[in-house]
């Protein structure tokens, strides 16, 4: 589905440089189609992204619908704007989401 595809593309976009400059782990709790727990690890060497809990504790946990998540990654919705809306929440280091925005 679109969520899995988004993470596949993200995994391909993860570079050592992003990992070095970000040093953050993002966990996504997605509801709806293709939902569940997903992660982007920009802290562990090499970085990774995929389904399930991150390999290390997340710095940021974002909860949103899978539809909003896909919109966020296709640049139809800025992460920061997503969390200003009521149907999303963010727990943890909000500043790290700005570095995620750069990567998108």
- CATH classification of the domain holding 24: 3.30.1050.10
Query: In which band, very low, low, confident or very high, does the pLDDT at 68 lie, cut at 50, 70 and 90?
Result: confident
**For residue 103, is it within any domain?**
no
| Whole-angstrom distance, CA of residue 1 vs CA of residue 16 | 27
pLDDT tens column, 70-98: 888 787 767 666 666 667 888 898 888 87
82 phi/psi in degrees, rounded to 5: -55, -35
Q: Is 77 left (phi over 0), alpha (psi -120 to 50) or beta?
A: beta
Give a yes or no: residue 81 inside a domain: yes
Best CA proximity match to 24, nearest among 50, 47, 53, 4 = 47
Decide if 20 is inside a domain: yes
pTM for this structure? 0.86
The reported pLDDT for the residue numbered 97 is 81
Euclidean distance between CA atoms 64 and 85, whole angstroms:
10
94 vs 24, more confident: 24
User: Quick check: is 23 in a domain?
Assistant: yes
In a domain, 104, yes or no: no
The number of domains in the chain is 1
| Residue 59: inside a domain | yes
Asked if residue 44 is part of any domain, the answer here is: yes
In this model, does residue 26 exceed pLDDT 70?
yes
Q: How far apart are CA 42 and CA 4, in angstroms?
A: 18
């Amino acid at each position: 589905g679109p969520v899995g595809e988004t993470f596949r593309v993200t995994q391909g976009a993860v570079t050592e440089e992003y990992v070095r400059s970000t040093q953050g782990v993002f966990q996504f709790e997605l509801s709806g189609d293709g939902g569940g727990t997903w992660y982007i690890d920009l802290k562990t060497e090499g970085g990774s992204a995929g389904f399930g809990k991150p390999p290390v504790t997340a710095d940021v946990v974002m909860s949103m619908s899978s539809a909003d998540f896909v919109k966020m990654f296709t640049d139809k919705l800025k992460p920061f704007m997503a969390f200003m809306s009521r149907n999303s929440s963010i727990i943890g280091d909000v500043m790290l989401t700005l570095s995620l925005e750069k990567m998108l």
